[in-house]
Structure 1
Amino acid sequence: MTRIGILGGTFDPPHLGHLIIANEVLNAHSLDEIWFMPNQEPPHKKKSNAIKEADRINLVQLAISGHPNFKIELLELERSGPSYTYESMKILTKIHPDKEFYFIIGADMVEYLPKWRNIDELVKIVQFIGVNRPSYSTESHYPILYAEVPEVEISSSQIRNRLLENKTIRYLVPDSVRNYIKENQLYGS
């Protein structure tokens, strides 16, 4: 059975922290692929709406293009309304019965799991993999695998703010992402 890691997020924009997490989890748990799943409307935070959906898709594709085991999954973007993991994983497991899914979350989301929609049903259809984040606990009474990742404090909001302030984002995002942002004058760049 093919083992797929799902990394969800706004990816607004995708950055090296996302890629490091994906690569570390892929290798730590011998997964076959990592699918980056941009969400439509994250239920736990406000989406920035800084750029068009098509640009977010292009940015993710550019960010992952150098890795043969990284793919993009557009399921959540194709649905309207909040992107609840439970609904998404029900659909993915139905479409891909030959795949075993692992949902990757940061320690901040590990702490938030009790508040996730249908969490008791969700843990029956997907295995969570938690990754460390500074100032958050990875302890949970839910069944979670873990992966240690280098602590790299990069956030999409930090990158958007730097662009608004006309500061460099070199080495925070892949060069292809940085060039696309510049060429398309995204985030006020």
Structure 2
Amino acid sequence: MFDHNKHIGLFFGSFNPVHVGHLALANYIAENSDIDEVWFVVSPQNPFKNTSELVDAKHRVNMLEDSIGSYPKFKVCDIELKLSTPSYTYKTLNELTFLHPNFHFSIIMGSDNLINLNRWKNIDEIMRLCTIKIYPRPEYPIAEELLTDTISIIDAPVFNISSTLIRKGLSEDKDYSYLIPKKAHDYIKNHGLYKFHH
């Protein structure tokens, strides 16, 4: 099969853990936009985040793999786990465009990230390598003046679920079996992840 000019949406995140909001959003975008596939780009430790709650990348990749099953428009991408840290987006994009020269990449990001975009390292290089698709997040209206030829809004329903909320609930023994994909939920239970430690 020839993949010439396939349009790939890059959905970056720690997926700690993956939840139905991630999958539902990506599923909607994959079925209702010009994006052919959504790749879940698993982030290593974020230098700006408290990492004590971040489970090992191997577990996060496994949970994603289990959750996406055989849906052909989803792929788990562990490229950032193989690059030097900290993982800068421009480095990831350079590597992806080198590996897949015929693909067109778009970063899928929430409207809460748009305001800080100009602070990203080598943002000019990022904008040269890809386009950016902004989806709505509650309480973060999209400032029209920030939209350009390469930054556009992607229509998608709002899913206000956070991994932080889910981790907190799991640590309190809440049953979140409808907020986490079943296979990921089973994986968490089987591996004893996100248990509350005194």
Q: TM-score range by the shorter chain?
A: over 0.9
1:86-139 deviations in Å (ceiling 9; x for gaps) = 110011001110100011000111121111111122111111010000111222
Match of 2:179 among 172, 175, 179: 172
Amino acid in the other structure paired with 2:194: Y
Q: Which stretch of structure 1 is more off in the superposition, 5-14 or 142-151?
A: 142-151
1:77 match: secondary structure: helix
1:144-186 deviations in Å (ceiling 9; x for gaps) = 1222222221111111100111111121111111111011111
Which residue in 1 is equivalent to 2:63?
A: 59
Q: Given the alignment of the two structures, is residue 13 of structure 1 paired with residue 17 of structure 2, yes or no? A: yes
Counting aligned pairs with the same residue, the percent is: 35
Which residue in 2 is equivalent to 1:41?
A: 45
Which residue in 2 is equivalent to 1:110?
A: 114
1:6-40 deviations in Å (ceiling 9; x for gaps) = 10100010011111221122223222211111011
Which residue in 2 is equivalent to 1:76?
A: 80
- Over aligned residue pairs, what C-alpha RMSD do you find? 1.6
Structure 1 distance, partners of 2:70, 2:19, is 14
2:115 match: secondary structure: helix
Q: Given the alignment of the two structures, is residue 156 of structure 1 paired with residue 160 of structure 2, yes or no? A: no
Instruction: Check whether the contact 1:32–1:69 (CA below 8 A) recurs between aligned residues.
Output: yes
User: TM-score, normalising length from structure 1?
Assistant: 0.93
Unaligned runs of 5+ in 2: none
Bigger radius of gyration among the two: 2
Structure 2 distance, partners of 1:115, 1:131, is 19
User: TM-score, normalising length from structure 2?
Assistant: 0.89
Match of 1:124 among 103, 124, 128: 128
Q: Given the alignment of the two structures, is residue 100 of structure 1 paired with residue 104 of structure 2, yes or no? A: yes
Structure 2 distance, partners of 1:10, 1:90, is 20
Instruction: Check whether the contact 2:45–2:54 (CA below 8 A) recurs between aligned residues.
Output: no
Give structure 1 regions of 4+ aligned residues with deviation exceeding 3 angstroms.
43-50
Unaligned runs of 5+ in 1: none
Structure 2 distance, partners of 1:40, 1:51, is 10
